[in-house]
Every structure is written in structure tokens, then in C-alpha cells.
């Protein structure tokens, strides 16, 4: 069934026109059966447009026996006996821009910010993070860790990061309870390693510097770990098909494949870092399958690759988010992990900070990405200022929380709350389970948490309320989904 008309009717963001709403990944359920506690009660947490509901507990309901729903009913079916991928974590990027903005906040607002993201009770429980190797667009300047033409990398020094970023990451780690899975990504090698002699504007890694660049990753990882920041994984290159006005570097699929199998993979092993999760692609969904198949059909390259990273900016062409590409990639390579490595809403406008479409784009993407097999989901900048920066090339964007550095205040956009409906209630180690709506007006995904509680997310992007029944193995309860709302139903 094609659902494109619904998107056009109900979403006001032009980039979303044409997206498919619901998508259950056609994957083989795992053999291991989940441990499910008795399902008798449902606590509903809601965020809704036109209300003061923000992750608000609105009601606790009781499930009652009901064997057969009618065709005239709207039903969300949940089956905890069918399990799929395991959740690793949800979080955001700890960039230079976020760190610099954080440093400008008064101490009480810094504490509030950290608790809002990483607090497990009062916050939304982030457990995953990303940071940049060398500078990116969301840095105040362009910088490198090595001197020009230092092929042996003897001058390698991360002193730049000690001013803002390293202290910021360590505070985030502490706020998260001491553990925060962090992966690292380069935007560009040093200028002298590239054929355009520029960290910006694309260019390619010169063949003679491939080994030096591979060693560069290991230097960075070891330097950060020496600072007390464990590194969980890394991606090969941020957006390897994008020639940007900011830090960027181009790789064809074949070039990335060969760099992984001939240089980066062997170097990670040689340097004792084979346990780091290596992620390829790290770019948009549209070319994802072509990149994955080119790399993973080569056994020598595939043996080093843990997963495939993807972004949501394929909408720059004017189309919608290509969830089909994600599903096809997962179906073809079920042994590799899918990670959403970056997404944000571009073209910052201070007057749009409360635009409900911001959060709804997150809800649409996260539900479809998880239903397509994604194991971890990473937002872009965790914090930006009142201008959508700092950014040294003017590429200003939205973040879930913005700081007004003029008065030291924090502004929580509805992105923060939409993300929270997943990150707060779906814990690391949770198994995705079947959740299927009988009507295309509701989007849904569900997880069985390690403690046996079930988290069912239901999103209503429509202008009208939708009454439905939650049905789990012969038990049901009536629920109302408010217009332009997202809810997490905790079943126990």
C-alpha cells in the first residue's frame, strides 16, 4: 500500500512529502525468546501540540481480555514473542560548537542541561554519542592535530580539544553514570594529505598518505582514551560523497572499500584497536545500498566492518526520506549493524524554535529507522546557540536544546521531547518487537526492555484525534491519540 498521500496531507515540512509512514523490517526474528512480565497495566506518557503535555504521564490503564478485534476498529497490535535487533543506545553529537556553547552557560544551567539529556529519571537518558576528529563545520575554526608534511605524525597533539571539547565530553560521561558509548568521525584529513591541499571543499586523500591517515585515527583514539574518554567506535569518513564548503573529503565506494581493507582495518588491528566498531558510509540513505554492497561483498573489507552508518539529508534533492533503502540494506546484510549517525533540521531560524514540524520529523525518522533494523540513533549537535551555531562557514542548524548566550537561558524545542519518547523509555539491551497499526494514521514501534517492561511508541501526525485499541496477545485497552502527538505506552 502506498502512503505518500498521507504525508502530503498532514506534514507541513516540504522535505517530508513523499515519505512512507510505517515500515516493519522484514527480518527473521531471533530464536531467543524474551522474558515478558505479565501485561496488565499501561502507563501513557504524552507530548502533544497545543497542550502543556511534554513527556507527561497522563493516565494508567488496565488491559482486559479481548480475543478478536473488528475490522472497523483502529488497533495497534503488539507481539512481544517476536523479537528483532537489540538497542545499543540513543544520543547526540558532542561537537566543538556544543562544547563552546556549553562553556558560556552559567553553572546552574550547565547542570540543568546535563541532567536534561543524561538523567535517567528527570532527563531523557542519553547513552550514545559522537564527536569529530579534527575540525568540522560546527567548529569555530579549521584546525588540525599535526604539522604540515609531518608524515610520521610525530607532532600529533590534541591540545586544541582540551579547552572546551574534552572537558565537555567528560562531564557528559559523568552525567550518564560513567558510561557513554562514543564513536568518532573525521570530516577531513589535514590539507597537505589531500589532492586539493584544502581541508574544505571536498578533495581526495592522496595515495601516498593512506597509511599516515590510517595511523591518524589510532593516534586520536589513543589520545582520547589517555584523557579518560573511552572510544566505542569510529566511522571512516563523514559524508564521503559530499563536496562541501566546510571540511569534507570524497571517497567512491571502491576507494572506501580499499582504504578499509588495505590500511584502516589492518592498522586498527596492529595498534590493538580491533575491538573498536568500524562504521562505513556515514552518509545519506539514498546511496546506502550501493555503498554497503560494494564494501561488504568484498570479504577482505567486510571482515573489518561492524556496521553501516547513515544520515537523513537525502531530502536535499526535494524528495522524502528513503526508508526503503535502509530496509533493503538490512535485508541484504543482516549480519552488519545499521546506525543512524547524524540528522538535524537545517537553515536555522530563531522564529521557528517552537515549530511542531521539527519534532515530527524526528518521530517519523526514528520510528521508521528502528523498524528497518537500526541498532543505535545519533542526533547531530546536542546544543547550539541562539544563532544555530557557532559554525565557521555559516551552516547554521537546529538542535534539540538551544542556549541563548546573551542571557544564559536554555530553550527546549519539541525535538528534545520527541527524541525523549524513545531514549527515556527504550533502554540499551532492549529487543525490538512487533508493533503494527491497522490504520496508516498512526506510526508505531515497540521494544521489550531488559526488565520485562514493554515500551510502545505511537505517533499521530494528523490534525484529528485518533481513538484506537492497544492489543497484546488477547488483551486490549482503549487509548486516545491527540492531534500532532507522540506517546510512549509503558506496558507491565
Contact 195, 206 (CB under 8 A): yes
Catalytic residue among 100, 342, 360, 415: 342
CA distance 304 to 10: 43
- Say how far apart CA 288 and CA 274 lie, in whole Å: 24
Confirm if 291 and 251 have CB atoms less than 8 A apart: no
Helices (H), 297-409: 299-302, 323-332, 356-371
Q: 342 catalytic, yes or no?
A: yes
| CA proximity to 454, closest of 477, 474, 432, 469 | 432
How far, in Å, are 28, 161, 173, 347, 488 from residue 94 at the CA level? 35, 12, 11, 20, 27
DSSP string over 429-485:
TPEEEEEEESSTT-EEEEEE-TTS-EEEEEEE-SSS-EEEEEEETTEEEEEEE-TTE
Contact 240, 185 (CB under 8 A): no
Other C-beta atoms lying within 10 Å of the C-beta of residue 56 = 14
Which of the following is catalytic: 100, 239, 256, 415? Answer: 239
Q: What DSSP assignment string belongs to 279-293?
A: EEEEEEGGGHHHHHH
Measured CA to CA, the distance from residue 245 to residue 332 in angstroms comes to 34
User: CA–CA separation, 446 vs 455, rounded Å?
Assistant: 6
CA–CA separation, 117 and 400 (whole Å): 10
All three cell numbers of 14? 516540504
- In the 8-state DSSP scheme, what is residue 6? H
- Cα–Cα distance, 440 to 74 (Å, whole number): 10
**List of E strands, 75-193:** 75-86, 89-93, 128-133, 181-186
Grid cell for residue 398: 537546529
Catalytic site positions: 239, 342
Amino acid at each position: 500500500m502506498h502512503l505518500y498521500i498521507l504525508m502530503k496531507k498532514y506534514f507541513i515540512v516540504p522535505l517530508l512529502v513523499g515519505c512512507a509512514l510505517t515500515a516493519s523490517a522484514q527480518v527473521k526474528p531471533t530464536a531467543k525468546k524474551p522474558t515478558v512480565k505479565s501485561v496488565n497495566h499501561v502507563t501513557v506518557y504524552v507530548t502533544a501540540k497545543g497542550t502543556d503535555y511534554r513527556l507527561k504521564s497522563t493516565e494508567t490503564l488496565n488491559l482486559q481480555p479481548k480475543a478478536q478485534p473488528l475490522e472497523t476498529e483502529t488497533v495497534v497490535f503488539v507481539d512481544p514473542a517476536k523479537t528483532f535487533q537489540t538497542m545499543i543506545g540513543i544520543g547526540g553529537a558532542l561537537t566543538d560548537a556544543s562544547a563552546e556553547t556549553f562553556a558560556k552557560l552559567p553553572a546552574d544551567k550547565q547542570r540543568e542541561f546535563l541532567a536534561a539529556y543524561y538523567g535517567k529519571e528527570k532527563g531523557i537518558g542519553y547513552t550514545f554519542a559522537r564527536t569529530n576528529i579534527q575540525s568540522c563545520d560546527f567548529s569555530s575554526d579549521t584546525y588540525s592535530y599535526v604539522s604540515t608534511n609531518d608524515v610520521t605524525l610525530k607532532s600529533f597533539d590534541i591540545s586544541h580539544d582540551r579547552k572546551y571539547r574534552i572537558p565537555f565530553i567528560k562531564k557528559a560521561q559523568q552525567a550518564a553514570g560513567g558510561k557513554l558509548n562514543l564513536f568518532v568521525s573525521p570530516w577531513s584529513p589535514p590539507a597537505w594529505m589531500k589532492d586539493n591541499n584544502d581541508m574544505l571543499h571536498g578533495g581526495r586523500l592522496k595515495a601516498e598518505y593512506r597509511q599516515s591517515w590510517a595511523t591518524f585515527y589510532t593516534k586520536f583514539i589513543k589520545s582520547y582514551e589517555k584523557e579518560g574518554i573511552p572510544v566505542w567506535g569510529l566511522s571512516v569518513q563523514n559524508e564521503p560523497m559530499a563536496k562541501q564548503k566546510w571540511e569534507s573529503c570524497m571517497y567512491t565506494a571502491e576507494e572506501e572499500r580499499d582504504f578499509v581493507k588495505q590500511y584502516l582495518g589492518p592498522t586498527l588491528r596492529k595498534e590493538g584497536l580491533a575491538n573498536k566498531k568500524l562504521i562505513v558510509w556515514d552518509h545519506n540513505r539514498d546511496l546506502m545500498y550501493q555503498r554497503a554492497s560494494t564494501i561488504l561483498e568484498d570479504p577482505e573489507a567486510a571482515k573489518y566492518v561492524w556496521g553501516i552508518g547513515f544520515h537523513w539529508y537525502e531530502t536535499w534533492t526535494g524528495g522524502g526520506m528513503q526508508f526503503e533503502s535502509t530496509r533493503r540494506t538490512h535485508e541484504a546484510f543482516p549480519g552488519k549493524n545499521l546506525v543512524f549517525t547524524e540528522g538535524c533540521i537545517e537553515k536555522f531560524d530563531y522564529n521557528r524554535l517552537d515549530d511542531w514540524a521539527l519534532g515530527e520529523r524526528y518521530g517519523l525518522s526514528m520510528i521508521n529507522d528502528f523498524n528497518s533494523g537500526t541498532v543505535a540513533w545519533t542526533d547531530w549537535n546536542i546544543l547550539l546557540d541562539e544563532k544555530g551555531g557557532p559554525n565557521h562557514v555559516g551552516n547554521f542548524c537546529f538542535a534539540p536544546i538551544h542556549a541563548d548566550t546573551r542571557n544564559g537561558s536554555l530553550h527546549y524545542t519539541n525535538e528534545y521531547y520527541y527524541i525523549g519518547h524513545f531514549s527515556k523509555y527504550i533502554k540499551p539491551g532492549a529487543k525490538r518487537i512487533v508493533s503494527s497499526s491497522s490504520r496508516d494514521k498512526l506510526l508505531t514501534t515497540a521494544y521489550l526492555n531488559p526488565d520485562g517492561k514493554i515500551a510502545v511508541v505511537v505517533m499521530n501526525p494528523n490534525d484529528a484525534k485518533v481513538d484506537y485499541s492497544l492489543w497484546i496477545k488477547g488483551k486490549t485497552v482503549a487509548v486516545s491519540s491527540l492531534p500532532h502527538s507522540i506517546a510512549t505506552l509503558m506496558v507491565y
